[in-house]
Structure 1
Amino acid sequence: MDLEARILVVGAGATGGFFGARLVQAGRDVTFLVRPQRAAALRERGLRITGLDERTVIEPRLITAEEITGAYDVVLVSVKATGLTQAIDDIAPAVGPDTTIVPFLNGVAHLDPLNARYGTKSVLGGVVKVATTVDQDGDIVRLAPMAELVIGEQDGRPTPRVRELCELLSGAGFGTAVAPDIVAAMWHKWVFITTVGALTCLARGSVGDIVAVPGGRELGAAVLAEAAAVSAAAGHPVPADELAWITGTVSQAGSGFTPSMYRDVVAGLPTEAEHVFGDLVRRARTLSVPTPLLDLATLQLRVHQHRTTS
């Protein structure tokens, strides 16, 4: 897989738009698969990245599902969980016998339908760490400096294609790495996002707001303990250093940090509640792990989802 490999980025939102734009800037052959409405907006304004003193504008190569005419070497799937089923259908003409598919969704539930449709031979695991959002103009806004992309074979094998893909994605202004156990890495990120999501959605505030009041610091620790217990019971214990980092994140005085789940709730937008929270608590029941706080957060998010979609 050389540096001229054809890359299809599915979605041009906060995640796909950011990483895809960086790859374009690094000279990679990138096409964005988007909906007609998003395509019209991007053709009018360009793909823009702002925040942290950045003002980047690129003219992306765009395509809609009906316009795909052949296979790509790499397909990066960066849609919301609610759009996954449609995306799986849309990319079919872009997937050939040698295409590598890398999904960057939260949780792990998306692996099952992707594997069922395209086979584990084609699908890698992936984790992205980036703090971005999309503003009312459709521009991508950076909220923090971190930007990292991690990939790996689902069975943990150090295959040549993973090393070659890591090289293809490297040198583009974000960190890249191959995980020795990508499924475990996906679980560990899942622990983080459910912890910060449950904490902020239950307490309705930023981390700093929460730890500033009695019981706030203890709430973060209790939610983390539940999420980490589910991961451990599933065979993916969270390493001590990651637990320490998450603990620090949810107990930092004065922190203005809020996760995307909370920001969507405050904005009255639909969320990935079932994919991120519903799936985790269902697995917790199967594994006989009690999760009262995560159950409460899931219920709250389901009520929010009902209000926004009914």
Structure 2
Amino acid sequence: MAQEGMGAKVGAARVCVVGAGAIGGFFAARLAGAGHDVSVLARGALTGILQEHGIRLTSGGAETAHPVRASDRAAELGVQDIVIITVKAPALAAVAAAIGPLIGPDTIVIPALNGIPWWFFLNEGVVLSGTRLKRVDPDGGIEASIPLAHVIGAVVIASCSTSAPGQVVHASGNKVVFGEPSGQSSERADRVAAMFADAGFVATASPDIRRDIWAKLLGNACFNPVSLLTQSPTDLMLADPGLEQLFVGMMHELLALSHTLGIGLDIAPEQRIGETRKLGHIKTSMLQDLEAGRSVELDSIVGAAIEAADAAHIDVPLLKTVFSMAVQRARMAGIYGEA
């Protein structure tokens, strides 16, 4: 498969995971365990840890170790069949500029990121076609470094954390959805989904990945920034009737925007909130980042939606108010800016 791109058998792919945090480590471990040639583009001390110990994954009460190649230089790893990007959004521009040696003519690049990706409006024939999201890709560097033709979109539904560098704990969920940015079905998206399914994921290929991204955004853009402001897990936020009504209002704004953008997401806010309520005591990624002193992804998760609303002339006052307060909170904590 390394010689024939994605045209050869599923079980022999050269896969590079860029960023071996919680989700990246989860992917690397599962794919390596399924027999793929997995490498990790890492940085700092993590590179040496991965070279010596590989990725250690705890899932379902069992711990496994998976050897991977690791380097802090893309040129050492060479051209890949698949490149999976799992860094936080603030680090994406620097990563995009560094991964050129990993990308050959047939390489598939899968940005497994939170929020609205830089490519969301780059296809012809979509509402706001050609719009560059400055909150995500201010100077167009990501767009220039990762050609759209290489991209397969992804939505990840999984809860993972890192107990130590190179050690991933999988708590729940293992769903991954893949799809062409163009919104059309493709053989390569089907093959990627099959590869992940073979590695133990609940993986599917979607004919409308933009809709899937917006469906995940519906929760993330509401629960994440408010959890940052209140330092509360989801169950405590939803126990407050005032906050629940705030979430309903924010979701209505996102749903109205989705219809204007031609995405047409039809999910009742109360239904979406009910899904989160069933999960119980959950710390959002932004709350975890606040507690750990890590950069938060406010721009890609909330700011980009506001930018799209402004471009489409849709009023989203609740989103704007929450975003402004969350940005100020993150600034005061020193976690708003580059990763």
TM-score by length of 1: 0.89
Matched, 1:120 2:148: yes
Report the equivalent of 1:87.
Answer: 95
- Assess if the C-alpha contact under 8 Å between 1:101 and 1:123 holds in 2: yes
Gap regions ≥5 residues in structure 2: 1-5, 120-131, 133-139
Matched, 1:247 2:273: yes
Report the equivalent of 2:114.
Answer: 106
Matched, 1:27 2:35: yes
- The one-letter code matched in structure 1 to 2:151 is V
Distance 1:17 1:211, change over 3 A: same
Deviation of 1:73 (Å): 1.0
| Structure 2 CA distance for aligned equivalents of residues 212 and 262 of structure 1 | 17
Deviation of 1:39 (Å): 0.8
| Structure 2 CA distance for aligned equivalents of residues 191 and 284 of structure 1 | 14
Of stretches 261-270 and 7-16 in structure 1, the one that deviates more from structure 2 is 261-270
| Structure 2 CA distance for aligned equivalents of residues 109 and 163 of structure 1 | 21
| Structure 2 CA distance for aligned equivalents of residues 32 and 18 of structure 1 | 12
Report the equivalent of 2:12.
Answer: 4
- Equivalent of 1:219, from 246, 254, 268? 246
Report the equivalent of 2:79.
Answer: 71
| Structure 2 CA distance for aligned equivalents of residues 220 and 302 of structure 1 | 18
Deviation of 1:51 (Å): 5.9
Specify the SS of the correspondent of 2:21: coil
- Assess if the C-alpha contact under 8 Å between 1:201 and 1:297 holds in 2: no
| Structure 2 CA distance for aligned equivalents of residues 78 and 227 of structure 1 | 25
| Structure 2 CA distance for aligned equivalents of residues 22 and 245 of structure 1 | 32
Specify the SS of the correspondent of 2:80: coil
| Structure 1 CA distance for aligned equivalents of residues 313 and 322 of structure 2 | 18
TM-score by length of 2: 0.82
Report the equivalent of 1:289.
Answer: 314
| Structure 2 CA distance for aligned equivalents of residues 67 and 93 of structure 1 | 5
Deviation of 1:176 (Å): 0.8
Gap regions ≥5 residues in structure 1: none
Distance 1:213 1:261, change over 3 A: same
- The one-letter code matched in structure 2 to 1:284 is A
- Assess if the C-alpha contact under 8 Å between 1:217 and 1:251 holds in 2: no
| Structure 2 CA distance for aligned equivalents of residues 131 and 107 of structure 1 | 16
Identity across matched positions, percent:
28
Specify the SS of the correspondent of 1:265: helix
- Assess if the C-alpha contact under 8 Å between 1:72 and 1:96 holds in 2: yes
Deviation of 1:230 (Å): 2.4
CA RMSD of aligned residues (A): 2.4
Specify the SS of the correspondent of 1:7: strand
| Structure 2 CA distance for aligned equivalents of residues 51 and 219 of structure 1 | 35
Deviation of 1:78 (Å): 1.1
Deviation of 1:6 (Å): 0.9
Distance 1:240 1:212, change over 3 A: closer
Specify the SS of the correspondent of 2:207: coil
Matched, 1:263 2:271: no
Report the equivalent of 1:232.
Answer: 259
Count of residues paired in the alignment: 307
Deviation of 1:141 (Å): 2.4
Deviation of 1:131 (Å): 0.9
- The one-letter code matched in structure 1 to 2:106 is D
- Equivalent of 2:297, from 272, 289, 292? 272
